[in-house]
Amino acid sequence: MTKAVLCFDRDLTVSVNFTTENQGFMPDDAEPVPLAWVKYWAHHDPRVDVWATGNQHLRKEAAIPGFEELHQLWQEHVGPDVVAEYEPAGANPYKPTRRRGLEMIKEFYDNVDDVDPEWFVVVDDVDVSDVDGFEHFYPWDFRDWLEDSVPTDELPVCNEPAQSNACDCRTTVTALRERIDE
């Protein structure tokens, strides 16, 4: 049963592309969310669904679903008429705006029976706290909150190399489809 949906931006958020240099809006001691944590939740914690909602390179780096997979799931389980509401004329359905993509994820879960997450979280270096239904964290605040809330020995650990694609996002999407179809 899905308890939480975690959505991650990539750039200036996850450890694959993070710098505080020349970033006046973030604290000098800001730290990114480790890629290992994203991979762990996506592939080793069945209570969590994880999505790439920023730069879609994170899909491959963490082997998690992104907007292409979301679009496919919408078509299969919600219907093309609802998907059309989110696609402005001429827009690429696999690259919605940051806020529109989050709205689509929330709407997807709202429209699917028997999958009712309790918590929707977006971790992004851009303030998207105005998106209904999501709790927004800056990456450094999310990391601090998690490190303060969870004993250190319980924080996710991933022994795969940072760029390993040992897990495939198709596995995550297949598991989600199976839960929906139960």
Provide DSSP, the chain.
---EEEEE--TTTBTTS---TT-TTS-TT--PBPHHHHHHHHHH-TTEEEEE-SSTHHHHHHT---HHHHHHHHHHHT-HHHHHHT--TT--TTS--HHHHHHHHHHHHHHSTT---SEEEEE-SS--TTSTT-EEE-HHHHHHHHHHHS-GGGS----S-TT---S-HHHHHHHHHHHHH-
Kindly tell me if the per-residue pLDDT of 19 is higher than 90: no
How sure is the predictor about 63, in pLDDT bands with cuts at 50, 70 and 90? very high
* pLDDT higher at 138 or 87: 138
Encoded tokens for 55: 């730069």
Task: Give residue 134's pLDDT.
Answer: 97
The structure's pTM equals 0.80
Span 166-170, average pLDDT: 47
Domains in the chain: how many in total? Answer: 1
Task: Give 101-152 pLDDT, tens digit per residue.
Answer: 999 899 899 988 778 889 999 999 999 999 999 999 999 899 888 888 876 6
Span 18-44, average pLDDT: 78
- Which residue range forms the structural domain that includes residue 155? 4-181
Task: Give residue 165's pLDDT.
Answer: 44
Encoded tokens for 149: 């809330």
Task: Give residue 74's pLDDT.
Answer: 81
Closest CA to 173 of 87, 60, 50: 50
